[in-house]
Structure 1
Amino acid sequence: MSLMARDLEASQRFYAAVVGWSFRRTRLGEGFSVARVDGAPVAGIGALAGDLEVPVAWTPYFAVDDADVAVGRIRERSGTVAVGPVSFPIGGRGALAADVDGAVFGIWEGPVASDWRVGRGPAPAWLELRTRNAFDAALFYGEVLEWATGRPGCCEVSYEEDQVVLRQNGEPVARLNSGPVEAASYSPHSRPRWHVHFRVPRLEPAIEAAVSMGGRTVSDITSNARERWVALRDPDGALFTLTTSLTTPLSL
C-alpha cells in the first residue's frame, strides 16, 4: 500500500496516532518513508509535489516478475496505464494503472521484503475492490497478475458468499465485491476503487484520535458477527476504513 500525502510529516503524525505506526526513511530520499508495526513494514507514504492538484488516495501495489509484461497485459485487456514503468533508486520498477472500470492500482517489479504484511498480523488488515462485476474483475487481475496459476508465491482465488476472495498461503488478503458503481460519482462508496481496511485493537479510541488530528468519519459504525468498522478520511482526504475484530483470532 502506498499513499502520496500533501504534508508528509503531518500524515505520519496522523497515522501514528490513529493506527500506531512508526516510520523509517528509505533510499528513495527524504520524501518517502515506510510505516512499520512491530518492526514489520506495512505501508509506504510519500510527499506529493505541491503543484499537483490530484486527489490523495491509498493505492495498492501488486508484485510482478516483469513490469513491461504486466503493463502490456493491462493494455491488452482494456486497462489504462497512467505512469510507467519507471525505475527507482532502490532497484525496482513500478507503474500506476487503472482497471477496466477505473479502479486505480500499481504494479512493482523488484525487491520485496518477505515480511510485508497484508491480510495477516498487523495492519493493513485487508484490501477490498468495489467494482461493477467482481467475477470480471477477477479475470482481469488474474490474467494481469497471474493469480491462480500455481506458480510459487501466487495467490489463490475462490468464490465465497457472493464475493471473490484472494488468498496467499491460505491467508485472505483481499475481497472483490460486485455492486452499483458510477465512474464519475463523487461518492466514496459508489466509485470503482480499491479500498484499504486498517486493523486497530479498539475502534472508538482510534476514531477519537483521527478526529483530533484533523480526520473525519464518513460513515456510521457498522458491525457483523466478526468485526466492527467505520470509514474515515484523513486530513488530506484519503479514504480508508478502520476495523476491529470481534473474534479471536483475527480474520476476514
Structure 2
Amino acid sequence: MPIRNEPWPEGTPTWVDLGSDDVEAAKAFYTGLFGWEYLSGGEEAGGYVLAQLDGKAVAGLGSKQDPQMPTVWTTYLAADDVDATTIKVGDAGGQIIAPPFDVMDSGRMAIASDTAGAAFGIWQAGTHIGAERYNEHGALCWNELHTRDYDAAREFYPAVFGVEFHDISGEGFVYSTFKRASDGQEVGGIHHDGQMPEGMPNYWLAWFAADDVDAGIAKAVELGATVLMPPMDSPFGRMSVIQGPQGEAFGLITLPTEQA
C-alpha cells in the first residue's frame, strides 16, 4: 500500500481531477468501480471533493467551470514554484489557460497547455500534496501524454520541468518515458499517437491500477461505461481504456507484482 506524505518532486504527475456535469453521478460511478469514499472541501471549495481510499486522497471530483467543455480527467504536474513554471510554459511556446491562483491553504495552481494544445495542471503543494496513495487498486499509477507532435513534446516538457527521456519505442510504437530531474525516476510517458481521430485534441491520459482489469471492465460497463480499448496483455501489465458515463476516458492496468 504505497503511501506518500511529502510533496511530490517537480515534474511528477501528482494529481488528477475530474471536471463533471454531475458530481453526484460521478461519485456513484467511481465508488462502484473503485470503492472510493469522499471528503468535501466545504463551501469554499465550490463543491469540490477529495476521493479517498482508507482516508488517503487519490483524486478529485468537481463541477466544470465551463459547461460547454468535455468531461475529462486533468493531470497535474508538480512544481516547486507555479509562478516561475508558468513563465517557462510561455517561454517554451505553451499557453496559460488559468493563471496561478491559491486554492485556500491546499496549494497554488495553474492550468496550461503545451505547444500542441494538450492541457495539463500545475500544482504547488501546500497542505495538499496531491495523491497520497498510488500504485494500488483504485489509485493513480501512471500518466501519459498522447500527442501527434511527439518531437515538440520532447522539447517542451524538458524546458518547463527539466525532465529527461528514455525511449522505449518498438515496431509500430513510438513512446518515451520521462524521468524527473531530482532522482531520475521514470514517472510518466509521451506516446506518439497516430490513431487519434481527426479533430480530437492531444491529451493526457490517467491510468488507475486494478487488481483484475477484466473484472474492472465488466463492473464499469455495468455502471454505464464504454470500452474504448479492449483488454490486452502488455509488458507493463494487462490493460484497457474505458470511457466513463459522462464521457471521460481513463486507463485500467494490472501492475506487475513488484510494482504494486
Instruction: Give the TM-score normalised by the residue count of structure 2.
Output: 0.80
1:84 to 91, 99, 103: 99
| 2:190 equivalent in structure 1 | 176
| CA distance, structure 1, for counterparts of residue 156 and residue 242 of structure 2 | 29
Distance in structure 1 (CA, Å) of the matches to 2:106 and 2:17: 17
Structure 2 counterparts to residues 110-125 of structure 1, below 5 A: 110-111=125-126, 113=128, 116-117=131-132, 120-122=135-137, 123-125=139-141
Once the two structures are TM-superposed, the CA of residue 121 in structure 1 deviates from its matched residue by 4.1
What is the identity percentage for the equivalent residue pairs of Structure 1 and Structure 2? Answer: 27
Query: In the aligned structure 2, how far is the partner of 1:242 from the partner of 1:220?
Result: 11
Stretches of structure 1 that go unaligned for 5 or more consecutive residues are 148-156
Q: Which residue of 2 aligns with 1:161?
A: 168
- Tell whether the 8 Å contact from 2:73 to 2:250 is kept in structure 1 after alignment: yes
Assess, with a 3 A threshold, how the Cα gap between structure 1 residues 139 and 40 changes in structure 2: closer, same or farther.
farther
Structure 1 residue identity aligned to 2:208: F
- The residue type equivalent to 1:48 in the other structure is K
Q: Which amino acid aligns with 1:185?
A: G
2:233 matches 1:195: no
In structure 2, the residue matched to 1:229 is 239
Question: 1:227 aligns to what SS in structure 2?
Answer: coil
Distance 1:184 1:97 in 2: 22
Question: Among 119, 128, 131, which residue is 2:147 paired with?
Answer: 131
Answer yes or no: is the 8 Å Cα contact 1:132–1:181 preserved in 2. Answer: no
Gaps of 5+ in 2: 1-15, 170-174
Check the 8 A contact 1:181/1:192 in 2, yes or no: no
Partner of 2:8: none
8 A Cα contact 1:119 1:174, kept in partner = no
1:32 equivalent among 48, 56, 60? 48
Instruction: State the match for 2:77 in structure 1.
Output: 62
Spell out, residue by residue over 1:11-66, the C-alpha distance to the aligned partner (whole angstroms, 9 max, x if none): 011111112222111254351111122332111111225x6211011111122222
Corresponding residue to 1:75 among 67, 90, 103: 90
SS in 1 for 2:69: coil
1:166 shift after superposition: 2.9
Per mean C-alpha deviation after superposition, the further-off stretch among 120-129 and 56-65 is: 120-129
- CA shift at 1:96, angstroms? 1.1
1:23 to 26, 38, 53: 38
> Partner letter of residue 197 of structure 1?
W
> Is the contact between residue 231 and residue 240 of structure 1 (CA under 8 Å) also seen in structure 2?
yes
Task: Flag the 1:44–1:201 CA change in 2: closer, same or farther, 3 A.
Answer: same
TM-score (norm 1): 0.82
- Please tell me the residue identity of whatever aligns with 1:161: I
- Distance, in Å, in 2 between the alignment partners of 1:26 and 1:88 is 11
Please give the per-residue CA displacement for 1:148-179, whole angstroms capped at 9, x wherever unaligned: xxxxxxxxx34141232234656542111224
RMSD: 2.6
Partner of 1:140 in structure 2? Answer: 156
Query: Helix, strand or coil: the match of 1:52?
Result: coil
Deviation at 1:208, TM superposition (A): 2.1
SS of structure 1 residue aligned to 2:155: helix
Residue in structure 2 matched with residue 238 of structure 1 by the alignment: 248
Partner of 1:60: helix, strand, or coil?
A: strand
Provide the C-alpha distance between the structure 2 equivalents of 1:222 and 1:116, rounded to a whole number of angstroms.
27
Residue 97 of structure 1 aligns to a residue whose secondary structure is strand
More relative contact order in 1 or in 2 (CA 8 Å, sep 6+)? 2
